[in-house]
Every structure is written in structure tokens, then in C-alpha cells.
Structure 1
Amino acid sequence: MIKRHHIATLAAALGMAAALVGPALAADNAVDTSKRIKVAMVPKLIGLSVFKANEQGAREQAKKLNIDFLYTGPVTASAQGQVDVFNSLIARRFDVITTTANNPTQLAPTLRRAMKKGIKVVSYDSDVSPDARDFFIQNTSYPAFGKALVESVAKYTGADAKIAILSSTKDATIQNEWINALKAYMAKTYPKMQIVTTEYGESSPSKSLRAGLDIIQAHPDVTGIIAPDGAAEVGAAAAVQKLGKTGKIFVTGASDPDAIRQYVKSGIIKASPLWDEVKEGALVMYVARLAHNGALKPNDHFTAPDLGSYDVKNRVIIFSKPLIFTADNIDQYKF
């Protein structure tokens, strides 16, 4: 028989253990979710399919982490539009702002002001100035993605092809990083390949279509268009289709599978690199919770349940290796 004082001792020990562990830890016993926090996700603009996929993953993860989640942003790819949103979030005392930047420097003063007020800032996809955020979730390594973009057209255009670039905006951080990386890879691996023009579609499907049409009509010798933006890739592919250039001009870029599926199956896009945007959105929320809790160091390592293990190096987290969509695998992905 267990004596009464033994029961009391056991109960006290269990109570002490519970106090040490905390009242509300996540299933992996690593994240304290006892306090409900407000986290905003601010994309470059509302409506673009890749950012909707981020939102889907973020919203699902927020429920698991006791996060009051808000998805909000400008209706066009505007740095000032993002600044206006940030000012509203600061006034409403949000705990964490997560964002993918239209401009690395124009957003910085407002985000630094948010940080001074105790708001954590997590950038993802396209970075802001490093002193204007706590952590940055980088989609892939830039050299790896630059290589993937070039190789996605080189096999079909040949090593001495004339290539056009159709990007989002002139000052978009991540697109410029990718363009620099692809140029470096192209110069080393395909020195006879030539970039004849770089145009911008402002992350708008209609403007990207017009830009794609202009490229093809102004440069009839172009056989490949690299469009490292979700709307730009769709616009470029639609332009190829509209002008009857299927099989003559090959497109690649950075768009979600739902948006490009028809063009992959028609052969306009043979290969297109990206990553799992839904899972990336989930990781953004996980890092937002860790950042708010003060549980993440500038150089660190952590494991996010169902997402993977990640290294933090100088406050930067690499999310994934490039995921290449082709006609053989694209139907496995729905986002």
C-alpha cells in the first residue's frame, strides 16, 4: 500500500515538473504557446498565387501555435503600400510582422520603428535591410536557384541561345539576387548564351503578358524567357501561347504549380523551379512564434514538426533546395 505522505511527495514532484515544463507547450515540447499573440503576414501584394499558398500554410500553422493571424497587404506591388500596412499594424500593437519586401530599403525605417516598439520582424522570400528584421527565411540558396533557372531552359534552347528575362520590379530584392546568380552561372557554364533584354511586369499578370508580348515581338531570335516571378512566368507563357510560339520559345520562372500547370502540360514550360510555398508559410509562423518567445538565437539550430530541421546563420534560415516542377511530377502538387 502507498502511504499518504508518499502520495503527497509524488504529487509535489509532479507539480514541480509541470511548473518547469510550462503550462502549454507544443506537441514537440519545444515551443511555449501559453500566450496568444498577434502575427501579421504582409506579402508584396494581395492576390498573387504564390503568396496565397504561403497564407494557406501560415494560417494552418497559426492555429497550432495559439497565434491570432492576419493576412494583409497592398493590392499592387508597392513599397509605399507595404509601409502603410506596417504603420497600421504598429498602431494596432501586433506582436510580430512577417513580410516579403517590394523594396529592401524603403521599408526599413518603418520596420526599425516597429522593432524599437518591441515588435518582432521576420522577413521571408524577399529580404529587407538586415538591420530592419530579426530573422530572414530565404527560400533557397541564391546560387542553387540561379543554376536551376538556367538549366530549366538550357536543355531546350541550346548553349548559345538568346535569352530574355522578365522580372517583377527593378528593386525587388530576391529577383535581383536570382538574376545575379543566374548570370554568374550562365557566364561560367554557358558562356555563349546571351541575355538580350530584361523587362518588368510589376508582379501583375496583365502587365507581364504585355511585357512578354513585347519581348517576343521586339526580339524574334529569343528562344528562352526566364521569368523569376509568379506573375511574370504566367505572363511570359501566355505570350508564347498567344503568338503561336510553343516549341520555339521555352519559359521558366518561379511560380506555383496550379498557376503554370496548363503551360507545363502544353510544353511551353518544360521545367520550373520553386519550393513548397505552403510549407514555407508554415515555417514563417513557426519562426514568428520562436522569435516572439526569444527562443531563437542569431546562430542556432531548431526542428519544426512536420517541416524539418534548420540552421540559423547570422539570422538567416534557408528553407529548401529548389523543387523542379515538370510534366512528370506537377500533378503531385496542389497549391
Structure 2
Amino acid sequence: MNRTPRGRTRARTASTRALALGVLLATLAACGGTTRDDEEERDDSPAGDATADPDAEYASDLSVAMLPKSVNNPYFEASSEGAEQIAEELGGSYDYTGPSEASASSQLSYVNTLSQQATDVLLLSANDPNALCSSLEQARALETVVVTFDSDVAPECRDVFVSQVDGEEVGRSLLEMTAEQIGGEGEIAVLSATANATNQNVWIGIMETELAENPDYADIELVATAYGDDEDEKSFRETQGLLQAHPDLRAIVSPTTVGIAAAARYLQGSEYGGEVALTGLGTPNQMREFVADGTVTEFALWDPTQLGQLAVYAGAAVSSGIITGAEGETFTAGELGEYTVGADGVITLGPPTRFDAENIDDYDF
């Protein structure tokens, strides 16, 4: 999509954008939809060919909003802290808002509202790869830069995706930790977030491929995948259900911070504590007590605070014309260093860190 760098031209006001949104919605209702090519040909689409200027400066008055899968989630709260810090350092404003439940439909109204409010940069962790695309395209037509982080949408629906880590690396790390903790054999189960979560499904898919093709895991069987919808109590119940349905279960892998903490809490107070291994993705602060008492031996994660920081820098870089999201472009993200845009507009934070009793107290997030 063509875009005029917001750092150079900011003629569109909130009221004008709201009016344009109404026109766009009416047009969509009449025509039954639109495509990106159609959008580029519209008179009210952003004008000018987008070209990257790596020497441009970050705009100083950007409004940034983060829309997580769900609020009241320690992982996203940490990401929000990092995002707010950088937004304010760049001289902009910041808002953190979202649904209390992790579902695609629950995010829809927030996308529309933020677009109407003339938000310059939307940071989105999506609950579904496709459900929000129409609304995101409408927001982008009104010059909101859409940056997905943590969990992506279809590439054509956003400007860039800030990935916490290479998806294949996460899947392999999860399986490696699991195999090490159960001696390379036995039944395992996955406790995921939502069934449509893009990142979760990528990681689980890598695990399934490794189990099917890697001889190192020939004696490990994935017997079930349960979904806690990133809700603490549901994840707790799903853990109980997995253990009751599979009495020979050796390990649970939970690639979600809500899920792993809920599963650890269940194991801690049950006969399975110390008998069934638990690993996955969690923050050191929420998992510290479970590592200390032996409920969990090892888990992994990246720094969610840095993920939020990088997401803001990426969005500000697009909005300011420093990058367009094309492969090979580079930008400097403050103290995080220089980053290069990869294929499909993906920007990767870095490798995951494994946490255990030896190093967990070295981290505070």
C-alpha cells in the first residue's frame, strides 16, 4: 500500500479520518468488499509512492496503542511497559487497551475504535490470522500503521510483524527441553492458548514435524492438545483434564505464559507434582516459585519488555518513512541495536532464553 510518511505530512485530522472511515464502510457495504489493489486506486487512499529513507528521524508526536490478545496478562503487561517507555522517549502518546478474553471477535471493536481515534501506530497481538483483516485494511487506508507482534495476521493485512523469535527455533526448543526432562521417551501433551493463535500453531506444528521426522524423538508420542484460551481457570481445568484422560502422561508442554503458570499451579497441589514434567514459555517472575519447589525444571522465553520496545520502534520507523516494510531495509531501535526487515515484513527480536534454578534469579520480568 502506498503511504505518505507521517513524520513529514500529517494533514489528516481525527475528524477527517472518522468521516473517511464512514465513507469507506459505506462503500464496503455497497460493494461487498475490496482488495488491496482497489484500495490503492481509491482517491482517499494514502497518496505518494512509499520509499524508505534510512536517514530520516523518528517522528516526535506519534500516538501509539497496544492491543494485546487479552489484558490482565503478565506477559502483555510486560510488553506494554516496554512499549510505553519507547513511545514516551520518542515524544509520543501511548494507550494500552483490549478485551478481557482472548478471542478474535473481541478485538474487532478495539481496532475500529483506535482507527476512528486517528491512532498513528497500532501494535496488535492477534487472536486469529484472518478475522481482523478487513478492519485492519480500513485502518491502514486511514494511515494507521499496523504492527503485529507476538502473534501475526496474514502479511497483506499489516505493515510489519515483530516476531519474538524464529518460529522453528521455538518449536525445537520446546521439544528439546521436554525430551531432556523425560529421558527421551513417553507420552506428552500440549496445553495451548486459543485454537486459532498463529504463533501457538506454528510452534506446535514444528513440534509435530520433529516428532514425525526426527529419530531422536522416535519414542515420544504427542497424545493430545488442549486449549485454555489464555484464561487462568480454564487452563487449570484443562491441565486436570489432560492428566485424568492420559494416566501415562510424562510431560505437558505449554507454549503460553498463562497456560504454563496455571498448569504449574495445578501440578504443585496435586499428586502429579514432581512426577509429570512441565515446560513451555513463561516469565521468570511468574514461574520463580514453581522452579524453587521443583514443580518445573526448565522453561524458556524472550524478554517481553524488549518485544514491546522493538514493536514501537518498528511502527515509528514505518510511520516516519525510515522503512516501508520491504525485505532488506534496516533501522536502529535505540539501545536494542540495528534490525533488518526479513521476508514478508518480519522483524525478529532474537533467540529464546532458557530459565532454570541456576539462572532464573538473574532476571526480573
Contact conserved, 2:149 with 2:163, CA < 8 A, in 1? yes
Contact conserved, 1:157 with 1:224, CA < 8 A, in 2? yes
Displacement after TM superposition at 1:31 (Å): 5.9
| CA distance in 2 between partners of 1:301 and 1:295 (Å) | 8
Q: What is the CA RMSD across the aligned residues, in angstroms?
A: 1.5
Give the count of matched residue pairs.
308
The alignment status of 1:313 with 2:342, answered yes or no, reads: yes
Letter in 2 for 1:252: T
Corresponding residue to 1:173 among 198, 201, 215? 198
Letter in 2 for 1:175: Q
Letter in 2 for 1:301: T
Corresponding residue to 2:225 among 198, 203, 215? 198
RCO greater where, 1 or 2, for CA within 8 Å and sep 6 or more?
Answer: 2
| CA distance in 2 between partners of 1:195 and 1:95 (Å) | 44
The residue aligned with 2:311 is 284
- CA separation of 1:34 and 1:169: change in aligned 2, threshold 3 A: closer
- Structure of larger gyration radius: 1
| CA distance in 1 between partners of 2:80 and 2:99 (Å) | 15
| CA distance in 2 between partners of 1:243 and 1:291 (Å) | 50
The residue aligned with 1:126 is 151
The residue aligned with 1:301 is 330
What TM-score does the superposition give when structure 1 sets the normalisation length? 0.89
The residue aligned with 1:18 is none
Corresponding residue to 1:58 among 83, 96, 99? 83
The residue aligned with 1:79 is 104
Contact conserved, 2:194 with 2:227, CA < 8 A, in 1? yes
- CA separation of 1:34 and 1:296: change in aligned 2, threshold 3 A: closer
- For structure 1, the 5+ residue unaligned runs are 1-21, 23-28
Corresponding residue to 2:172 among 140, 147, 164? 147
Percent identity over the alignment is 34
The residue aligned with 2:299 is 272
Runs of at least 4 residues of structure 1 off by over 3 A?
A: none
The residue aligned with 2:362 is 332
Letter in 2 for 1:80: S
Displacement after TM superposition at 1:30 (Å): 5.7
Contact conserved, 1:186 with 1:193, CA < 8 A, in 2? yes
Provide the secondary structure at the position in 2 that maps to 1:87: helix
Deviation by residue 1:199-250 (Cα, 9 ceiling, x = unmatched): 0101011110010011111111101000011111111111211212222111
The alignment status of 1:256 with 2:283, answered yes or no, reads: yes
| CA distance in 2 between partners of 1:45 and 1:280 (Å) | 16
Letter in 1 for 2:346: V
Deviation by residue 1:146-176 (Cα, 9 ceiling, x = unmatched): 1111111211212221001000111110000
Deviation by residue 1:12-54 (Cα, 9 ceiling, x = unmatched): xxxxxxxxxx9xxxxxx96624540111110000011100110
Note the 1:215-254 alignment, pairs <5 A: 215-254=242-281
Contact conserved, 2:55 with 2:322, CA < 8 A, in 1? no
Contact conserved, 2:147 with 2:162, CA < 8 A, in 1? yes
What TM-score does the superposition give when structure 2 sets the normalisation length? 0.82
The residue aligned with 1:96 is 121
